[in-house]
Each structure stands twice: as C-alpha cells, then as structure tokens.
C-alpha cells in the first residue's frame, strides 16, 4: 500500500499527467485523453472522469491499483470478511498511485453495470502554473453510454435496437433514452467548458451534481 497524501508544500511543483482513459469492451472504443495535475487526489480525479466521460455520478465507483481499492468510504466500504479494504480516495494522489509513465490502473463505475475503464499514464509533463489546478481534455471519441443500460453488452444491444426502426422494442427504448442519442458524438469544447467548473482541490457532491446537471442541460 502506498503512503498517505502528500504535504501541501509538495503540491506546488507537482507534474502534469497526460492520461488515456478507455472504456473497456466498447467497440469502437469510447475514450478520452486528459491532462490532470499530478497532485490531484483520487476523489478529484473521479469528478474529472465523471465530467469528461459523460457519467452522472449516480452510482458507486472505485479505483483499482493492483490489489488496492480506493473510493469514497462514506458510501463504499468492505462489506464482508475477506473483501479488500477500501482506502479513502481523498487521501491519495494521482502521482502516488501511478508514479511513472506507462503506469496503468483501473476505474470502475456502477457496480451493477460494471463500467470498467483502463487509465494509462501516457506522459508526465513539467509542472505548469496554468495547468496546476485544472483538468483539460485534449481529445476523445464517442458518446458515453446511457446510465443503467446494462453494461457493455446491454449498450451494444441498445444501439442495435435504436438503429432498427422495425425492432419491436425500438419505440420503448427510444422513449427510455429520453432524447436523441448519437453514439458517435463527442464535443471537446463543451467537455472542457464543464471541466473548468470543477473546484480545486476539492469537489463536493453538491458541486459535482450542479456541474453535471449543467453539462446535461438538466433542470430540477
């Protein structure tokens, strides 16, 4: 297990990480390329991933680094004897769990649908004052799957149904999605607009919810 969170003094010159995030099993792949401060805690990185990929923070999540698991322990904790200990995500930083280029780790979102992401450190760049407190999306492809559609297999089936107007479930699935859905759509400018809304160095659940609702043009 790695050590607890770095001191504040050590954050001022933290490097910038370039990450490739791929939704495993998606074909063609859903992916994003991000630049994130190496001093970012894993709970802040979670917020970045929710905004950049397109999720809505409606389910539990965890980071997977070897045998270690990191999450928000207020909501996600080891339930049974023998389960791996869940470490507090806000106490560990990106550069602690992935200190080298080409390091890779996992991010699972929604333990029911089990959306598994692979995150690879493509580059570790010099610290930059302008990038020290924000996340930037450099590139990406394809839309995030709708929440609760049944994981990768369910998503593939959903796309087939939406493409086939003669399918007996076409109308009901179209109504379930609720709006026009383009699996190939990805808006880089919009993604960065909402990434800039994330507060540094902490994002509360309320702040993340407000950001995601704004991104999705949703009004309570």
- The rounded distance, in Å, linking the Cα atoms of 83 and 109 is 18
> Taking the model in full, what pTM does it have?
0.93
CB atoms under 10 Å from CB of 136, counted, come to 18
Quickly tell me which residue has 């950049």 as its tokens. Answer: 52
Length in residues, the chain: 220
33, HSE (Cβ side, Cα atoms, 13 Å) = 7
Query: What is the structure's pLDDT at 77?
Result: 82
pLDDT confidence bin for 9, thresholds 50/70/90: very low
Q: What is the pLDDT of residue 128?
A: 86
Residue-wise pLDDT for 26-85, tens only, equals: 999 999 999 999 999 999 999 999 999 999 999 999 999 999 999 999 988 877 777 889
Residues of the chain with CATH 3.10.290.30: 15-142+186-206
Which pLDDT belongs to residue 12?
A: 56
Residue with tokens 């950001």: 211
pLDDT at 78: 76
> Which pLDDT value is given to residue 7?
41
Domain over 15-142+186-206 is classified CATH 3.40.50.720: no
Given a cut of 90, whether residue 14 has pLDDT beyond it is: no
- Eight-state DSSP code of residue 41: B
Residue 90's pLDDT is what? 97
Name the β-bridge partners of 104.
Answer: 120
Model confidence at 4: pLDDT above 60: no
Taking only the tens place, the pLDDT of each residue in 105-159 is 999 999 999 999 999 999 999 998 888 999 999 999 999 999 999 999 999 999 9
Q: Residue 219: its pLDDT value, please?
A: 67
pLDDT for position 189: 98
The yes-or-no verdict on residue 169 having pLDDT over 60 is yes
DSSP H helix total and E strand total for the chain:
6, 8
Q: Are 110 and 60 in contact (CB under 8 A)?
A: yes
């Amino acid at each position: 297990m790695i050590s607890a969170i770095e001191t504040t003094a050590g954050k001022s010159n933290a490097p910038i990480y370039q990450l490739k995030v791929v939704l495993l099993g998606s074909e063609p792949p859903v992916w994003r390329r991000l630049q994130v401060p190496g001093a970012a805690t894993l709970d802040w990185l979670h917020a970045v991933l929710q905004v950049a990929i397109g999720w809505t923070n409606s389910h539990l999540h965890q980071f997977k680094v070897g045998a270690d698991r990191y999450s928000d322990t207020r909501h996600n904790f080891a339930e049974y004897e023998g389960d791996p200990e869940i470490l507090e995500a806000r106490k560990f930083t990106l550069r602690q769990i992935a200190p080298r280029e080409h390091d890779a780790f996992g991010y699972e979102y929604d333990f029911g649908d089990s959306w598994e992401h692979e995150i690879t450190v493509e580059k570790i760049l010099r610290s930059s004052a302008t990038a020290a407190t924000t996340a930037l999306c450099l590139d990406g492809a394809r839309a995030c799957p709708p929440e609760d559609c049944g994981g990768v297999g369910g998503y593939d089936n959903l796309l087939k149904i939406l493409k086939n107007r003669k399918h007996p479930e076409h109308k009901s699935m179209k109504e379930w999605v609720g709006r026009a859905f383009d699996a190939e759509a990805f808006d880089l400018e919009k993604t960065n607009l909402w990434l800039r809304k994330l507060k540094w160095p902490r994002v509360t659940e309320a702040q993340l919810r407000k950001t995601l609702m704004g991104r999705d043009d949703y009004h309570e």
